[in-house]
Amino acid sequence: MKRLLRLNLLLLIILLSACDKDKLCENEAFCAEIDGKRWWPSSAGDFKSSPLTAKLLYGDSVLAIRASSGSDRIYFSILDGNTITIKNYVLSDTLSRGYYDKSIASDEFETDTDYTGILSINEINKSKKTVAGTFHFKARNSTTGEVADITNGSFNTIYVEY
């Protein structure tokens, strides 16, 4: 019996150590990498603020998602001339943009003509009011010229209509 227990324990340890670390965001409402480091939204102890918000605005033609952890924020908005649908949207210097703030007061990064990205809507369920997709973008601080690389981003969350 002890031998069987040890064998099962060893098998469990092997299975846990073999988990694919790239799937850390698989069951998360929002996750990304900022310059190669994993990042998740967090309320950071502030019970009054929501670390993740998603809004569908102006007759379903604009989607805006904001995630924050302390003073760090990732947010993006996309504009479709008609209705937000399942497709890829370019984040650049137009009305569809990506942003990253290292702190609320300064260090603001945003996409522009040289630093762009893609936001892919993979699923939108209007009856359940959920939206899911992936994103990546490079954003530049216009003051310092520093570039932030936001990669491996994913979201699967409920949205509110305005």
Give 77-115 pLDDT, tens digit per residue: 999 989 999 999 999 988 899 999 987 566 899 999 999
Whether residue 4 is predicted with pLDDT greater than 50 in this model: the reply is no
Structural domain includes residue 29: yes
Structural domain includes residue 16: no
Domain extent at residue 111: 25-161
For residue 93 the two structure tokens come to: 């210097």
pTM of the prediction? 0.81
Q: What is the pLDDT of residues 21-33, one digit of tens each?
A: 445 566 789 999 9
Give yes or no for a contact between 61 and 82, defined as CB atoms under 8 angstroms apart. yes
Give yes or no for a contact between 76 and 64, defined as CB atoms under 8 angstroms apart. yes
- % of the chain exceeding 70 in pLDDT: 78
Q: Please compute Rg for the chain using Cα positions.
A: 19
For the chain, the maximum distance between any two Cα atoms, rounded to a whole number of angstroms, is 67
Structural domain includes residue 44: yes
Structural domain includes residue 17: no
Q: What is the pLDDT of residues 39-84, one digit of tens each?
A: 999 876 666 668 999 999 998 999 999 999 988 999 999 999 899 9
